[in-house]
């Protein structure tokens, strides 16, 4: 007999290529990790080490499901990103050991209420309402790390209604994935089930109801959603 006084919330999961579900514990995100994107947001790309924010685990949207246009925004943006899924726990992980903590990879979209983010930045307020809202993390099928021989390079793209909006290479990251994991794990002990969204290249922009988003990373897969 359960001791829970209400029904426990469902476990958020991501489908795995070949079958099975990856349970999601936390979602960490990296800010400003491609120089051209830092510039388009008005920042010096060389100014600082990586910084982090988070989304709740149940923000994931999988299987190509639609994302409802969120409340309280008039500037809703796409950010295509590499997602690394942690399979081995660790804290203060060395750069050289970092990729050994990764279970797999996926393609994700860090959906952003850009107007609320601008408001938060201006007032030195937290970013949750801009980044951590419901349905803010569409993620494609997870592939096992063993099937991705070169996770540090590969074309990353996002198109909206068939028109290319973002295009770059994973090797354009200011802080590559091993450095991101090393730095993040100085602040948080990472555990199996944690996801890391590794930042977006330049070309972010608004989407509206009815838009079809398709993202891809060479050698990893795709992510698709529609704004409803
Ligand atoms: Mn992002």
pTM to 2 decimal places: 0.97
Query: Ligand 1: distance of its center to the CA of 210 in Å?
Result: 22
Q: Is residue 1 part of a domain?
A: no
Query: Ligand 1: distance of its center to the CA of 2 in Å?
Result: 39
Give pLDDT, residue 210. 98
Query: Ligand 1: distance of its center to the CA of 106 in Å?
Result: 14
Query: Ligand 1: distance of its center to the CA of 88 in Å?
Result: 24
Residues contacting residue 145 through CB under 8 Å, at least 6 positions apart: 87, 99, 102, 103, 104, 105, 151
Query: Ligand 1: distance of its center to the CA of 112 in Å?
Result: 8
Q: Can you give the CATH number for the domain in which 56 is found?
A: 3.90.850.10
Q: Is residue 2 part of a domain?
A: no
Query: Ligand 1: distance of its center to the CA of 31 in Å?
Result: 6
Q: Is residue 204 part of a domain?
A: yes
Query: Ligand 1: distance of its center to the CA of 77 in Å?
Result: 10
Give pLDDT, residue 119. 98
Tokens coding 185: 């794990």
Give 159-165 contacts, CB < 8 A, sequence gap 24+.
159/213, 159/214, 159/215, 160/78, 160/205, 160/207, 160/211, 160/212, 160/213, 161/211, 161/212, 162/212, 162/214, 165/78, 165/203, 165/204, 165/205
Give pLDDT, residue 164. 98
pLDDT-derived band of residue 49, with 50, 70 and 90 as boundaries?
confident
The pLDDT of 168-197, averaged and rounded, is 97
Range of the domain at 114: 13-226
Specify the range with the lowest mean pLDDT, choosing from 49-53, 60-64, 80-84, 157-161.
49-53
Number of domains in the chain: 1
Q: How far is the C-alpha of 214 from the C-alpha of 161, rounded, in Å?
A: 8
Q: Is residue 6 part of a domain?
A: no
pLDDT tens-digit readout, 113-135 = 999 999 999 999 999 999 999 99
Q: How far is the C-alpha of 108 from the C-alpha of 215, rounded, in Å?
A: 8
Give pLDDT, residue 47. 66
């Amino acid at each position: 007999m359960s001791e829970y006084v209400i029904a426990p919330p469902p476990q958020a999961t991501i489908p795995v290529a070949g079958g099975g579900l990856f349970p999601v514990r936390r979602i960490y995100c990296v800010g400003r990790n491609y120089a051209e994107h830092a510039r388009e947001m008005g920042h010096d790309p060389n100014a600082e080490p990586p910084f982090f924010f988070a989304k709740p685990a149940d923000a994931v949207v999988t299987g190509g499901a639609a994302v409802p246009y969120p409340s309280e925004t008039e500037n809703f943006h796409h950010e295509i990103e590499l997602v690394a899924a942690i399979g081995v726990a660790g804290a203060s992980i060395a750069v050289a050991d970092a990729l050994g903590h990764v279970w797999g990879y996926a393609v994700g979209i860090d959906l952003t209420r850009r107007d609320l983010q601008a408001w938060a930045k201006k007032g030195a307020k937290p970013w949750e309402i801009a980044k951590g809202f419901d349905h803010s993390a569409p993620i494609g099928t997870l592939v096992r790390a063993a099937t991705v021989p070169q996770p540090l390079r590969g074309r990353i793209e996002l198109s909206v209604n068939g028109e290319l909006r973002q295009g770059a290479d994973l090797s354009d990251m200011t802080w590559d994935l091993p450095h991101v994991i090393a730095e993040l794990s100085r602040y948080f002990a990472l555990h199996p089930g944690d996801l890391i969204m590794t930042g977006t290249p330049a070309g972010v922009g608004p989407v509206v109801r009815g838009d079809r988003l398709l993202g891809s990373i060479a050698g990893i897969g795709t992510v698709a959603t529609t704004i409803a």
